[in-house]
C-alpha cells in the first residue's frame, strides 16, 4: 500500500487528509494517509475556546459564503445543521475616522459602492471623493497585464479618500497587510478582471449583479460560522480520520528523497512516503526542503508573513451593549491607533455569549505593527482597554479575557506573488510526488485552503489511477 504523509495540521493539511482518505475510499484506491503536526493540537490558526458559556475565537471566526468550499466540507463531515449565519439585524461595518465611527455605506462590495443612495448620504466620504468615484467609468483601463499593488489600483480608479478611508483599513482587517505592497491579482483578482472586461468597476459590478440570480445564493448574509465556533470544523475532520493516522506533537526536522520515496525525519521517528504534502507556512517548508532543493527553499522564503494577536473581552450587556453598533469597526492607520479592527462577536453571531453578556474581540499587529505580538498579556490588555474606552466609551472592567498570539502566521501576497507561485509550480515538477499547499499560495482563507486540499487529493489520486 502506498502512503501519503502530510506535514502540517492546519486547515489546509486537515482538508488534504480528509479528502485523500474520503476520495481514495470512494474510488477503491489503497492509500495510507498520515498527518504529522508539531503542536499538541490540530487546527493551526483555527482555535476556539469554550468557557463560562462563551464561545471565543482566537483566529478566524467564520466562512465567506461566496467561496463555497468550506461550507461544502462542513456539510460533508456532518456539520450542516450547525452552520449559523451572521445576525442580519445587527449587521454593518463601521470605520473610525477623525475619532468618530462612520458606517460603511450599505451596498459596498469590499471597496466599491453598488447602491447609490446610501453612498450619497454617507458622511464618511467628502463630496469631492463621491464625485471622484462617480467618474470612475470614465477612467481609462490600465494598459498591460502585469501585476500592480492594491493601493495603485484603488488610487487610479477610485481616488485617495477611498484608499485611505475604506480600502486600507478593510484589507488590514482581512489580510493584516498594507495595500502599497499587496498584489491586486493575488488578493482581489475579481477587481482586476472587472476592469479588464468592462473598463469600469461600477459598470462591471452592475452588469454582473443584474445577471446573478438571488436563488443561487443560499445565504442572505456573506458570513457563516458554526454554532460552537470554527473549532467544530477541526473536530469534525479529526473524527473522520483514524486516530493512529494523526501524529500530534511530532516535529518534522527535514525531508529527503531516496530510491523514489520521500523520507520524513522527525524528532520522534521517520516516515517513508510515496507522496509528501507540505501544508506548513512557507518559511517552515523552506527549512524542511533545504537539503532537498536549495532553489525551492530560497524561493519559499520570498513569501513573507505578518504576526497578529487577538484579545477577547466579556462584559455585562447592560454596561456596554448601548455603546455598540453593527458587527464592529476597522481602523485606518491615519488614526494613529494600534487596534486594527474590533468585532462585536456576540452581535455578529448567535451562541457566542450567555444571556445578559457581551463578547468583544480586538485585533492587533499585522504588517503595520509587527511588534504588538511581543507585548506581554498585561500590556496587551491595557492597550486594548484604553483604546476601547477612548473610541467606544467602555469604562467597565471585563468579566473575562482571552489573549491569543499568532506569530508569522498570515502570508503576505506582495506584488508579483502569482509569478513566484508559478515558478514554484514549475520547479516542483522536478520532484514527483511532492506537493505544496496552504495559505501561502492560492488564498489565505479557510475556504481557499479547503479547495486546495480537495484539488490536491484529486491530483494525487489521478496519479494513482495511472494513464
Distance CA 277, CA 460 (A): 10
- CATH 3.90.660.20 intervals, the chain: 305-411
**Grid cell 467602555 in the structure block, residue:** 394
pLDDT at 214: 55
Q: What is the DSSP letter of 318?
A: H
> Could you tell me if 350 and 359 are in contact, meaning their C-beta atoms sit under 8 angstroms apart?
no
Is 271 in contact with 58 (CB distance < 8 Å)? no
pLDDT at 401: 97
Q: Check residue 467 and give its pLDDT.
A: 37
Domain with CATH 3.50.50.60 in the chain: 2-42+231-303+414-465
Three-state secondary structure call for residue 306: strand
What local confidence, expressed as pLDDT, does residue 368 receive? 86
> If you search the block for the grid coordinates 468550499, which residue do you land on?
69
Residues of CATH 1.10.3110.10 domain(s) within the chain?
Answer: 105-216
Hey, what CATH topology would domain 105-216 get?
protoporphyrinogen ix oxidase, domain 3 (1.10.3110)
Q: What is the CATH number of domain 305-411?
A: 3.90.660.20
Write down the pLDDT at residue 215: 53
Q: What is the pLDDT at residue 69?
A: 97
Number of H helices, E strands in the chain: 18, 22
Architecture of domain 2-42+231-303+414-465: 3-Layer(bba) Sandwich (3.50)
pLDDT values of the chain reduced to their tens digit, one per residue, 467 residues: 899 999 999 999 999 999 999 999 999 999 999 999 999 999 999 999 999 999 999 999 999 998 999 999 999 999 999 999 999 999 899 999 999 999 998 888 778 888 888 898 999 999 999 999 999 999 999 887 789 999 999 999 999 999 999 999 998 888 888 999 999 999 999 999 999 999 999 999 888 877 765 555 555 678 999 999 999 999 999 999 999 999 999 999 999 998 889 999 998 889 999 999 999 999 999 999 999 999 999 999 999 999 999 999 999 999 999 999 999 999 999 999 999 999 999 999 999 999 999 999 999 999 889 899 999 999 999 999 999 999 999 999 999 999 999 999 999 999 999 999 999 999 999 999 999 999 999 999 999 999 999 999 999 998 765 43
Which pLDDT score, from 0 to 100, does residue 462 have?
A: 87
Report which of 381, 379, 441, 372 is spatially closest to residue 412, judged by C-alpha positions.
Answer: 441
CA quadruple 436, 39, 233, 326: dihedral sign:
negative
Q: Could you tell me the pTM of the whole model?
A: 0.94
Closest to 170 (Cα-Cα) out of 362, 311, 162, 206? 162
Distance CA 415, CA 249 (A): 36
Do 233 and 76 contact (CB within 8 A), yes or no? no
For the chain, how big is the Rg over CA atoms in Å?
23
The neighbour count for residue 274, using CB atoms within 10 Å, is 19
| Distance from C-alpha of 141 to C-alpha of 187, rounded to nearest angstrom | 19
Residue whose C-alpha is closest to residue 86's, from 216, 214, 227? 227
Q: What is the DSSP string of 383-442?
A: HHHHHHHHHH---SPPSEEEEEEEEEEEE--BTTHHHHHHHHHHHHTTSTTEEE-STTTS
C-alpha cell belonging to residue 358: 457581551
Helix (H, G, I), strand (E, B) or coil at 91: coil
Find all residues with CB under 8 Å of 227, minimum gap 6, and list them.
82, 83, 84, 350, 351
Amino acid at each position: 500500500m502506498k502512503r501519503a504523509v502530510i506535514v502540517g495540521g492546519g486547515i489546509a493539511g486537515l482538508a488534504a487528509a480528509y479528502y485523500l482518505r474520503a476520495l481514495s475510499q470512494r474510488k477503491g484506491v489503497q492509500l495510507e494517509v498520515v498527518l504529522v503536526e508539531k503542536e499538541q493540537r490540530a487546527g493551526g490558526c483555527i482555535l476556539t475556546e469554550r468557557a463560562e458559556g462563551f464561545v471565543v475565537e482566537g483566529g478566524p471566526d467564520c466562512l465567506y459564503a461566496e467561496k463555497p468550499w468550506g461550507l461544502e466540507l462542513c456539510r460533508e463531515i456532518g456539520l450542516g445543521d450547525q452552520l449559523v449565519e451572521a445576525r442580519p439585524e445587527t449587521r454593518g461595518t463601521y470605520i473610525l475616522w477623525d475619532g468618530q465611527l462612520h458606517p460603511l455605506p450599505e451596498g459596498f462590495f469590499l471597496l466599491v459602492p453598488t447602491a447609490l443612495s446610501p453612498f450619497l448620504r454617507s458622511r464618511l466620504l467628502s463630496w469631492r471623493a463621491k464625485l471622484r468615484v462617480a467618474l470612475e467609468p470614465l477612467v481609462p483601463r490600465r494598459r498591460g497585464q502585469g501585476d500592480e499593488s492594491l493601493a495603485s489600483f484603488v488610487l487610479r480608479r477610485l481616488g485617495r479618500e477611498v484608499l485611505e478611508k475604506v480600502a486600507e483599513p478593510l484589507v488590514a482587517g482581512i489580510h493584516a497587510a498594507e495595500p502599497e505592497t499587496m498584489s491586486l491579482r493575488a488578493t482581489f483578482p475579481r477587481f482586476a478582471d472587472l476592469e479588464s472586461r468592462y473598463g469600469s468597476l461600477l459598470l462591471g459590478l452592475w452588469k454582473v449583479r443584474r445577471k446573478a440570480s438571488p436563488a443561487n445564493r443560499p445565504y442572505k448574509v456573506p458570513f457563516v460560522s458554526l454554532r460552537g465556533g470554527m473549532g467544530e470544523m477541526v473536530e469534525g475532520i479529526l473524527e473522520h480520520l483514524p486516530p493512529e493516522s494523526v501524529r500530534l506533537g511530532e516535529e518534522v526536522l527535514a525531508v529527503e528523497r531516496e530510491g523514489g520515496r520521500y523520507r520524513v525525519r522527525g524528532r520522534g521517528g521517520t516516515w517513508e512516503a510515496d507522496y509528501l504534502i507540505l501544508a506548513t507556512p512557507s518559511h517552515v517548508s523552506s527549512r524542511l526542503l533545504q537539503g532537498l532543493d536549495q532553489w525551492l527553499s530560497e524561493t519559499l522564503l520570498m513569501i513573507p508573513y505578518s504576526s497578529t494577536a487577538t484579545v477577547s473581552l466579556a462584559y455585562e450587556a447592560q454596561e456596554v451593549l448601548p455603546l455598540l453598533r453593527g458587527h464592529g469597526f476597522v481602523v485606518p492607520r491615519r488614526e494613529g491607533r494600534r487596534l486594527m479592527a474590533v468585532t462585536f462577536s456576540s452581535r455578529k453571531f448567535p451562541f457566542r455569549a450567555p444571556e445578559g453578556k457581551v463578547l468583544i474581540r480586538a485585533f492587533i499587529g499585522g504588517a503595520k505593527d509587527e511588534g504588538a505580538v511581543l507585548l506581554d498579556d498585561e500590556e496587551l490588555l491595557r492597550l486594548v482597554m484604553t483604546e476601547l474606552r477612548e473610541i467606544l466609551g467602555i469604562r467597565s472592567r471585563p468579566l473575562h479575557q482571552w489573549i491569543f498570539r499568532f506569530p508569522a502566521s498570515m502570508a503576505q501576497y506582495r506584488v508579483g506573488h502569482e509569478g513566484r507561485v508559478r515558478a514554484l509550480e514549475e520547479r516542483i515538477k522536478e520532484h514527483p510526488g511532492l506537493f505544496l499547499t496552504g495559505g501561502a499560495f492560492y488564498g489565505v482563507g479557510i475556504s481557499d485552503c479547503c479547495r486546495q486540499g480537495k484539488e490536491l487529493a484529486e491530483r494525487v489520486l489521478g496519479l494513482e489511477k495511472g494513464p
